[in-house]
Amino acid sequence: MKAGRVAALVGVAVLTAFTACWLVRQALVLSDPGPDVRQSETGPVIEVLDLDVGMVPADLAVHESTFRIANRSGQRVRVLNFTTICTANCCVRVQFSGPVDITPFGEVSFVAEMKVARPEPFEGPLEVYVDSGKLQTISFTIQGQGGGP
């Protein structure tokens, strides 16, 4: 009889320890959703990546560089359009032919066309318009260094 009770008590202790470990793990997972995966009050978190384009010849010719937009949320986001900007040293335009859907936790690449006038640092502030169930405007800046001939 005693051996049966001891085995039952050991089984209950193991099950209790397992349950406690599982509860601690769940608490840690729920308290830290990871980088940029949280929903914001304004909708899905969008991250624009690869914005430093490095050296671009300062010759007023069109040069291309790829950047990415990542959807860090669990819902679909539709990219509707981009602004085009010209500053004293550069003009930046995104090649875009219509709405593009970004799947939950997905990424899409876009091509920026740049014309740089002088061999000095440049910044091209842009905006992307997205629909995530409501319309949003997200600002970002493409930057680089104009190079000499």
- pLDDT 10s digits, 70-94: 998 889 999 999 998 899 999 999 9
Question: Tokens 């169930």 belong to which residue?
Answer: 133
CA-CA distance, 142 to 126, in Å (whole number)? 8
pLDDT (0 to 100) of residue 131: 92
Burial class (CB in 10 A: 0-12, 13-18, 19+), 21: exposed
Determine the average pLDDT of the residues in 42-55.
78
CB 57 within 8 A of CB 63: yes
Q: What is the mean pLDDT of residues 114-122?
A: 93
Q: Across the chain, what does the average pLDDT equal?
A: 77
Mean pLDDT of 121-128: 92
CA dist 131 and 79 (Å) reads 7
C-beta pairs of 84-89 under 8 Å, 24+ apart in sequence: 84/126, 85/124, 85/125, 85/126, 87/122, 87/123, 87/124, 87/125, 88/117, 89/116, 89/117, 89/118, 89/120, 89/122, 89/146
**Is the pLDDT confidence value at 57 over 70?**
yes
* Band of residue 12 on the pLDDT scale cut at 50, 70, 90: very low
For residue 33, pLDDT over 90 is answered with no
